[in-house]
Amino acid sequence: MLRKEQNSQGGPAAYRNQAELTARRLNPRCQLLTALSHEFPHLTSAGLLNKFVNLFPEKIIRREGLISEDNFNTQVVLETRFEGAGAPSRGKVRDIYDLGDRLLIVTTDRISAFDVILNQGIPMKGVVLNQISRFWFKNTDDIVPNHMISTELEDFPDVFQPYGSELAGRAMLVKKTKPLPIECIVRGYITGSGWKEYQRSGSVCGITLPEGLLESAKLEEPIFTPSTKAELGEHDENITFQRAAEMVGSELAEKVKDYSVRLYSRARDIAYERGVIIADTKFEFGVEGKSGQLILIDEALTPDSSRFWSLVEYEPGRGQKSFDKQFVRDYLSSVGWDKNPPAPDLPEEIVLKTSEKYTEALKRIRGH
């Protein structure tokens, strides 16, 4: 159990001294932690650690030595359970704790491919996904509101306070919504299932594209290509905009199309300046119960929901090197897996290389 850290003297100066001791205990060589302890002197050790990971997630890679293994759990997190919090619902990657009109979403290190959860997790993946989503939620909320309330431990319900080290960097308190039954995909480049469909028909999800496009070619304008939202273990299905409108209503369909293209375009331009091409991405939206407002939910522009390519290595006419889980998909395809469970195990070198790719995506997107 964690305890509130203070001494008998009380007052700001006492807190400041205690926070400094906390920072030095976490890692005496980390000047960033010490600086944070001065800025947030009231925080417990768990709160200070969570604050550090939220601000500097790329610094917790063990080889950089900024947080010792004794004080930060760098093991793969495949699932969570917290005493007193109730059993979570589990998706492919996230454990979701229902708090009434809010949710606490904990992003684990699970990874799925072709809609099947794999046996191995990817170190640091959950932290990377949560921090990239946090970055984009903060940088796009002028386009459409999103569900993020806080990623700070001090804002989480009391039942989660003893678990700061487990939650550090990978948890987000969000508004509860009724999710729309479609996934909102935006493609700026022709690749993946879109490339395969284009080769067959010259179109993607009912949208006719120019003749003669090369694999990975940039499209003149981003296109909105929705899909169904399949149950766990089932496969999503690309659908036309007309079919999406039938499922959610014409007004909502037009709104999510507009929001999705604008979100993608904003992120595409920011990432491009940082040497990353966002080839395509997937958004999800929900309707908030109290206000009836349409908001962005789930994750935003992460290596799980997007294709990230290196700008300097980009070359149309072939598949691209990526900073996303396409690397895992490519490996699984190379060993002849039929995309039905059970999935084959991932070799250690594939697991570690995938972790490096996710971390590199975070560093590039954040710009440091």
The per-residue pLDDT for range 105-125, each reduced to its tens digit, is 999 999 999 889 999 999 889
Select the more confidently predicted residue: 43 or 117: 117
Is residue 110 a contact partner of residue 92, using CB atoms and an 8 Å limit? Answer: yes
Q: What is the mean pLDDT of residues 235-256?
A: 94
Is residue 274 a contact partner of residue 362, using CB atoms and an 8 Å limit? Answer: no
**Residue 291 pLDDT > 80:** yes
Other CB atoms within a 10 A radius of the CB of residue 305 amount to 21
- Cα–Cα distance list, 143 to 130, 309, 347 (Å): 20, 25, 41
Q: What is the mean pLDDT of residues 7-24?
A: 40
Distance CA 46, CA 164 (A): 5
Reported as a pLDDT band with limits 50, 70 and 90, residue 261 is very high
User: Which is nearest to 92 in space by CA: 261, 218, 231?
Assistant: 231
Max distance between CA atoms of the chain, in angstroms, equals 76
The mean pLDDT of the chain is 85
Distance CA 219, CA 160 (A): 46
Distance CA 30, CA 325 (A): 32
Is residue 133 a contact partner of residue 300, using CB atoms and an 8 Å limit? Answer: yes
Select the more confidently predicted residue: 58 or 165: 165
pLDDT at 166: 87
Which DSSP letter does residue 322 get? B
Token pair listed for 19: 């926070």
With vertex at residue 54, the alpha carbon angle to CA 49 and CA 56, rounded to the nearest 5 degrees, is 90
Give the global pTM.
0.82
pLDDT at 48: 62
**Residue 246 pLDDT > 50:** yes
Q: What is the number of residues in the chain?
A: 368
